[in-house]
Amino acid sequence: MTINRLQHLSQTLTAAGLDAVVLNPGSTLTYLTGLHFHLMERPVLMVFAPGQEPVFILPTLEKLKLEQLPYPAQAYPYGENPAEWAAVFGAALASLGLEKAKIGMEPRALRLLEYGYLQTAAPAATFSDASPSLSALRICKDEQEITLMRRAVQIAQNALLATLPLVKIGMTERELASELVIQLFRHGSDPELPFAPIVSAGENSANPHASPSSRKLRPGDLLVIDWGAAYGGYISDLTRTFALGEVDAEYAHIHHIVQQANAAGRAAGKPGSPCAAVDIAARQVIEQAGYGAYFTHRTGHGIGMEGHEDPYMRADNQDVLQVGMAYTVEPGIYLPGRNGVRIEDDMVITPAGAESLSDLPREIRVLG
């Protein structure tokens, strides 16, 4: 499969007018090679030029990983002395004839560290953003990828169900988050979670990206839990909102509104529709209920090997949804200093519309 992906990359680069692309550790490199490297003080790069074998610049200690590649590649290993690394970069780029090439990269991934060595190795080369071309490789998931995502969703759901009986008034957000992490691993998540779970109660739940704190759970709180699992390198990203003790009438009301907005957003996805349609459908429900000012982010984002990737569900995005695209639908209402609600599901576009990979109940549930 990775061989086909490399062929697809070759076609994509040629269409974009690029002579080569450089990739450092991250999802795109893993997608194309099946190998896992991590960012560290020693640079690791794959350089690929259509029609030539890929070239890897990497520490000697990482060289054995290349034996797992399903296609031939050239290795340019280096030792521990950084003074020798520039020469290795120069030799690697010269081997591909890239001294004056148009080279693509991922600006959100490639660090100044690698970029500096590349510029020194090929000062006459030009470097440009290849993100659109690289994103196009991964944006539509095949059946194998969707199967892995389904499993990641199931692991996450099972882990939360195992955690909820442990919720008690008086425990801290951080304590609850730690219990959830344990359950994620017990239920089969990959060791590297897609993100640290968000567990936020009361006024903290009005902060969409709150970090678990020492705040204790109290009666009357809404409790937002945003969590995910990883399986086979693919991820899930879900959110449910619960009540602790008796539910205030307004909080029950905004939860119902968000539940309706989530349903509208899930229903809006279909092949040929713009991504904007998903955002607009969910946002209209909240705006018509009078809470538009309290929905402060886009309705969703793409998921796959990364927690945030193309496509993005926002009102100005006219990119067309295609079969195999996977994304979240996660509308919310956040009342500053009081409470917040978010309900998030993972979706995939099918020939018939959009399927939710997640099926945990979305109705409000009282805990504690």
Domains of the chain, first to last: 2-138 (3.40.350.10), 143-367 (3.90.230.10)
pLDDT of residue 268: 98
DSSP string for 197-242: PEEEEGGGGGSTTPPP-SPBP-TT-EEEEEE--EETTEE--EEEEE
pLDDT of residue 368: 75
pLDDT of residue 130: 96
Tens digit of each residue's pLDDT, the chain (368 residues): 677 999 999 999 999 999 999 999 999 999 999 999 999 999 999 999 999 999 999 999 999 999 999 999 999 999 999 999 999 999 999 999 999 999 999 999 999 999 999 999 999 999 999 999 999 999 999 999 999 999 999 999 999 999 999 999 999 999 999 999 999 999 999 999 999 999 999 999 999 999 999 999 999 999 999 999 999 999 999 999 999 999 999 999 999 999 999 999 999 999 999 999 999 999 999 999 999 999 999 999 999 999 999 999 999 999 999 999 999 999 999 999 999 999 999 999 999 999 999 999 999 999 97
Q: Which of 319, 327, 315 is nearest to 355 (CA)?
A: 327
pLDDT of residue 3: 79
For residue 274, the SS3 value is: strand
pLDDT of residue 1: 66
Q: How far apart are CA 302 and CA 234, in angstroms?
A: 12
Q: How far apart are CA 313 and CA 318, in angstroms?
A: 9
Whole-prediction pTM value?
0.94
